[in-house]
Structure 1
Amino acid sequence: MDDFEKREHDKQALIKGEVQDDVDRKLLELSALFEISQLLNSSLNLTSIVDNILLSPMGRMMINKGIFLLHRGDDQYEIFTLKGLARDLIGKKIALSELPLKPFLIEELKDSQYPWLSFFTQFDIKLFVPIMLRNDVLGLVAFGKKLIGKNYIESEIEFLSSIANIAATSIQNGIVFEELRSVNARLDKKIQELNTLFDIGKELNATLESGKIARLLSYGLMGEMMLNKFVIFVRRHDTVQTLEKRSFPNMDIGETSLELLFKITQPYTLEDAETNKLNSELSGHDVMAVVPMLSQDRTKGILLLGQRISKKTYTKEELDFLYTLGNQAMISLENAWLFEDSLERKRLEEELLVARNIQIGLLPEFFPDLETFEVYGVNISSKQVGGDYFDVIKVDAENYIVAIADVSGKGIPASLLMSNVQASLLALSTEVKAFDQLVAKVNNIIHANTTSDKFITFFGGILNIKDRTFTYVNAGHNPPYWVKADRSLQTLDKGGLLLGLMPDVPYEFETIRLQPNEKIVMFTDGVTEAMNEKEEQFEEPRLEKLLQTHSGLSAKECTEFIAQAVKDFEGNAPQSDDITVVVIKTLK
């Protein structure tokens, strides 16, 4: 073979080798695309699909960063997920105007024409691959640089484009699946709300007692909205009165503003409302939403809602739910005002007598004689026995549990639920050392043994007579007052949700150290919500003034003084709820 033939032979061999290498590469790419296609088609979960779109090429090409942006309409794109970057970018929306509809390198575009490029250049993004289905852009995949330092070559861009084409249908299916799941979730929530409205509606229709209706409405607000800050105003006999108030101690709305409130016929949030004098005043009181309560197409009540425990805003669906709940409650209230009579009260007398005997049996017969502390409590029962409870339980020589609670409802069911609370405290007092864990266990016991409409507001703590400390938890109860030696007041509000609402709820605790002549004053809503003949409530400011001006009283004197002050305030008006007060005082 001469030299020419040898060169030709070598040339042909080289070409065949290159062709074979190209064929081998194509086969590998096809194999990889087949595997990726199988992965993408094996799931309807959009997150799983997108993760595979990012991770497969990033692993194959050793790419350091990846971003998937989901098209949200018009020029808006949302960062759905990412790899190799801070996760706080997820959810960020970016306007991508004049987006090229084919793969492109960022260096090919000019910042002046595409102002959004600067966002991606700060994260060293190099390549973009649109994901399209039938000329519609579903999303955009963006990749950083390769770890080996080389630029993207045409075959790699084609490979990534092929992945995008394969993924388009899977992404579309995933989006549809997510939308269906979202719709199902909303439907489930609607069904839950309807069931709740049905259950509460049955309770509302089953009673002609306005106090119980108010509590049912309150527990509906707290249970469904995770809300413990609200005020309920109602109009009765042309007079606006406060039906229920939680954590709004200084809510003082002028008469003109009240009249404007009762002209509102649709619920709204302050965030979305127009700026006017009324809404400015409400915002100054930290009101987040306003919900009217209608009866016969007239506004007869108003719900003013504060911030939720979860800090979430109120959605339109939630406002609609509250609007329906409020209207149901308003109709029941009007029926209660019309039909409450002596016959109904007489029918309840026997049951209430039994309930009172149970309640009396649960209250402590005597109080411990301590060298450094005085503990004393009093309960004045109303004719309609409520669910008030308090106790002092000796744990050991140095520690005592002091607790107060208010059970939803009245009569025997409320008294039996009180006995449940006491039995749980007694059983767990020597077993569980951390008081927040003890309260969590009591909550689980109450939740497991009661129906969904039964709740308990609870406050209690461990009094260590040696260290002079009080470690407490507040589970949705009226915050007690810590009356300090300088007569200043501090509310004790660390804790969590009321008992029985849901299982496995964590509770916060706080430990305070008591100085000589300081007090902790616990009470139920029968004190602050006691009403006189003018249908005015006793309220927190009046109680605060009493505590500050009579700070030198002993624990026994203080409880009896508060109870008598409430009775004097009520005058000839009937007592509508139990009056319960418990005081701890440091002696020396």
Structure 2
Amino acid sequence: MPEPTISIEKKLFLRERELGALLEITQAINHDPTEDSLYKIFQFTLLGQLNIRRLVLYVLEEGQWQCVVSFGADLADFRQVPLPEAIINACTSASCPIPSLNLGKEWKQLETVIPVAQNGEVLAYVLIGNVNMDYVSEEATKFLETLSNILIGAIENRRLGRQRVAAAAIRKEIEIAQEVQTMLFPRHLPNNEYVAVHASYVPHTAIGGDYYDVVPIDDDRFLFCVADVSGKGVPASLLMSNFQAGLRTLLRQQADLATVVAELNNLIYRNAVSEKFITAFFGLYNRTTRTLQYVNAGHNSPIMLLDEAEGFQLLADGTTMLGIFDELPFLNVQTVPVPPRSLLLTYTDGLTEVFDQEGEEYGEEGVLRFLQRSRYVPLAKLHKELLKEIQCFNADGNHFADDITILSCRFK
């Protein structure tokens, strides 16, 4: 259809309306209202300044097309109508007449679709209908595209700004949680004529869910603990922080091992969120009696290598995972003798739940085989070689599916 002839006076009038529309939109953007308010201002600007009586606006939000404006007499509620593939495929760079797209009956009240693109990507579609005959020229359509670009660009910048703020907040949370987690780990581990202790920690993500501790009780005794909280991230780090604070408070009060475990269960049950729980192993070594009291709370069984004649022992007895029940259904504190030159390895499940190309698990058996051939290797080297072995075994190389914590004790 040929474009209508417009007098100079009419053109000036239309330019005045366009400037008015542009002024309203830019003032609204500078006033910094919400996105919903901007969409409403856009709608009423086109209605009041440009006399566009029907308007539909689709915007690409998180990869999905959403109708954010649906306005005009006799129009369907396009917020409930998906954007047709015909529009997406046909209108990528220039406006399209809607009748040529053979859409459904609800689209008959609309006349033109205008794509709004930035950096070669279409971010929105403006669909208009019942337009004043003075405002159907190609030049006018270009102005509508410009006005829409300004609006969509402003909204996109706001989203990016919010994403940057949110990302910065997350980074700060992670930084704080990492600092908290680092503070949880002991600075010094026993290494004397009676015992040597070594620990290694390999986090899966920036903030892991594993924890280990070694706490001196008196000249003869120390307690060690390895724990694994369900989940990762900041909530797991905070729960572990509560766990450590509770553990150390109970030990300062000279609580026995059964009381320590029962009270920690109660603490976790009251403070855990999102169905979190903790598996843990607690060991209390007495160098004078050469005995180890222990409770295994649903954790991987530590491996105690005895002398070559007696083989090994798995320390599996104890109780359930902590934080599941308000009161533990059972609690057994076991005491085992610790012969000279015994080696104890405690770990989290990230060490054993490693799979090769055939889907075979490294497992407890793999750890045991490694220990039996490496029992006299210095602890730091033993940890390093064990981590190297599971890295070679792992189908994903050094990308592990979970945190890995190892704590070993060599009793002299």
TM-score, normalised via structure 2 length:
0.55
Distance 1:410 1:572, change over 3 A: same
Q: Summarize the alignment of residues 555-566 of structure 1 with structure 2, pairs less than 5 Å apart.
A: 555-566=379-390
Deviation at 1:393, TM superposition (A): 0.4
- Residues in 1 aligned to 2:168 and 2:307: alpha-carbon distance in whole angstroms: 48
- Residues in 2 aligned to 1:349 and 1:484: alpha-carbon distance in whole angstroms: 46
The yes-or-no answer on 1:393 pairing with 2:218 is: no
- Residues in 1 aligned to 2:173 and 2:358: alpha-carbon distance in whole angstroms: 30
**Counterpart position of 1:455:** 277
- Residues in 1 aligned to 2:381 and 2:242: alpha-carbon distance in whole angstroms: 30
The yes-or-no answer on 1:420 pairing with 2:242 is: yes
2:295 is aligned with what amino acid? V
Deviation at 1:384, TM superposition (A): 5.2
Deviation at 1:420, TM superposition (A): 1.0
Please point out which of 541, 546, 558 is paired with 2:370.
546
Deviation at 1:566, TM superposition (A): 2.1
| Segment drifting more, 356-365 vs 522-531 | 356-365
Report SS of the residue matched to 1:501: coil
CA contact (8 A) 1:385 1:578 kept: no
Q: Which has the higher contact order (CA 8 A, sep 6+)?
A: 2
Distance 1:479 1:586, change over 3 A: same
Please point out which of 342, 345, 348 is paired with 1:521.
345
Report SS of the residue matched to 1:472: strand
Deviation at 1:481, TM superposition (A): 0.6
**Counterpart position of 2:325:** 502
Report SS of the residue matched to 1:443: helix
Please point out which of 182, 187, 195 is paired with 1:360.
182
- Residues in 2 aligned to 1:404 and 1:398: alpha-carbon distance in whole angstroms: 21
Distance 1:573 1:552, change over 3 A: closer
CA contact (8 A) 1:532 1:573 kept: no
Deviation at 1:516, TM superposition (A): 1.3
Please point out which of 294, 312, 315 is paired with 1:492.
315
**Counterpart position of 1:329:** none
Q: Count residues in correspondence.
A: 243
CA contact (8 A) 2:239 2:271 kept: no
**Counterpart position of 2:199:** 377
Unaligned runs of 5+ in 2: 1-166
1:583 is aligned with what amino acid? S
Q: Summarize the alignment of residues 287-366 of structure 1 with structure 2, pairs less than 5 Å apart.
A: 352-366=174-188
Please point out which of 497, 518, 531 is paired with 2:355.
531
1:498 is aligned with what amino acid? M
Partner deviation per Cα, 1:456-483 (whole Å, 9 max, x = no partner): 0010121112221110000000111111
Q: Note the aligned Cα RMSD (angstroms).
A: 2.4
The yes-or-no answer on 1:465 pairing with 2:287 is: yes
1:575 is aligned with what amino acid? F
- Residues in 2 aligned to 1:346 and 1:562: alpha-carbon distance in whole angstroms: 37
TM-score, normalised via structure 1 length:
0.39
Distance 1:542 1:586, change over 3 A: same
- Residues in 2 aligned to 1:581 and 1:442: alpha-carbon distance in whole angstroms: 22
**Counterpart position of 2:265:** 443
Partner deviation per Cα, 1:320-370 (whole Å, 9 max, x = no partner): xxxxxxxxxxxxxxxxxxxxxxxxx99977655543332222111221233
- Residues in 1 aligned to 2:238 and 2:304: alpha-carbon distance in whole angstroms: 31
Distance 1:529 1:348, change over 3 A: farther
- Residues in 1 aligned to 2:184 and 2:358: alpha-carbon distance in whole angstroms: 34
**Counterpart position of 2:49:** none
CA contact (8 A) 1:532 1:572 kept: no
Unaligned runs of 5+ in 1: 1-344
Deviation at 1:538, TM superposition (A): 2.0
**Counterpart position of 1:575:** 400
Deviation at 1:556, TM superposition (A): 3.0
- Residues in 2 aligned to 1:372 and 1:404: alpha-carbon distance in whole angstroms: 21
Distance 1:456 1:546, change over 3 A: same
The yes-or-no answer on 1:585 pairing with 2:410 is: yes
**Counterpart position of 2:161:** none
| Segment drifting more, 570-579 vs 440-449 | 570-579
CA contact (8 A) 2:296 2:317 kept: yes
**Counterpart position of 1:480:** 302
1:584 is aligned with what amino acid? C
Q: Summarize the alignment of residues 212-291 of structure 1 with structure 2, pairs less than 5 Å apart.
A: none
Partner deviation per Cα, 1:265-296 (whole Å, 9 max, x = no partner): xxxxxxxxxxxxxxxxxxxxxxxxxxxxxxxx
- State the identity as a percent: 33
Distance 1:557 1:517, change over 3 A: farther
Distance 1:348 1:491, change over 3 A: farther
- Residues in 1 aligned to 2:319 and 2:248: alpha-carbon distance in whole angstroms: 21
**Counterpart position of 1:406:** 228
1:358 is aligned with what amino acid? V
